[in-house]
Amino acid sequence: MSRRCVITVGDLGEFGVVARIARRLPQGESVLLGPGDDAAVVKAPDGRVVVTTDLLIEGRHFRRDWSSAYDVGRKAAAQNLSDIAAMGAIPTTLVVGLGMPADVPVEWVDGLADGFRDECALVGASVAGGDIAGSELVVIGVTALGDLAGHAPVTRSGARPGHVVAYAGRLGYAAAGLALLGAGIVPADGPLLEAVEAHRRPRPPYGQGPEAARLGATAMLDVSDGLLQDLGHVAEASGVGISLDPAAFPVGEPVAAAAKELGTDPLDWILTGGEDHALAAIYPPEVRLPPHWTVVGRVSDGANVKVSGRATGPGGWDHFRA
């Protein structure tokens, strides 16, 4: 009887795992000195560097029985690259910290690295290095760097009364997919599978971040925790109110199909669902927006975010909210 030998992370040791990952992640033009030394050296063409960091924790942000290692790598890269784009910048470099149990198969690590590689390839970014340590759960910490290419950063504090609210990308897809998985529904194909895949592997509209900066967006952010909650940050930072028109939001076929399957109002996912990493931006009313930007509301005097004139609660994800 043949026996299959499974090599685990613990068999390779820390250096062996880091070296294996490095071989699967080719370095791009932004990296002058990659893995192998105490620190990497990367370019900063603009003279300024946009920096963001985020965590993914097994059981909270992903489950290994719901998502492949490749999916997790794509997702971990995407949520950080999207934050760079939300500042109007071009993502250039990632640095990754990885904690994991010793019994994780090396093949899982390979899949994770491949996911990082392919997501970074969408924007021409590179993984410059990182660190690895033992952990009871898989924990992924990512720091992303970006280049403003001569533009001013687009912050959350520039919204003014009379401006319009628009978004690019998808809303409600990832929340619909998560709800399906939570209900024990693992579709094989069709719109329901597309919703589940959106939870596993988001598709941020990376190019629309720098585009928004060129068009004159006065505020912008990545929709990671739900549109209502995230626009609430814009309203607070800018000292304004925001009014949304629920009829202005298109309902994608996967979202509609999942809502029918689970007996849910799809607008709930669109307004409060996170992890699609759409970009929400505020524009002066005279800006002519390309068709991939959907206008869904206006900025006014006052405070907070309203839907159809009614005040809303936080309406999104919060790690510490009961």
The annotation places the binding site for ATP at 130-131, 156, 224
Annotated binding site for substrate: 61, 275, 317
* Total Cβ atoms within 10 A of residue 188: 6
Annotated binding site: 38, 52-54, 61, 83, 130-131, 156, 222, 224-225, 275, 317
The runs of H, that is alpha helices, within the chain are 9-24, 69-85, 106-121, 173-182, 190-200, 208-215, 227-238, 253-262, 266-272
Would you say 140 and 53 are in contact if contact means Cβ atoms under 8 Å apart?
no
- Tokens describing residue 64: 């290994």
**For residue 308, is it left (φ>0), alpha (ψ between -120 and 50) or beta?**
left
Give the residue among 171, 81, 168, 163 at the shortest CA–CA distance from 126.
81
Annotated binding site for Mg(2+): 38, 52-54, 83, 131, 222, 225
Cα separation, 227 vs 221, in Å, equals 10
Cα separation, 170 vs 252, in Å, equals 8
- Tokens describing residue 229: 């909650």
| Bridging pattern class, strands 305-307 and 41-42 | unpaired
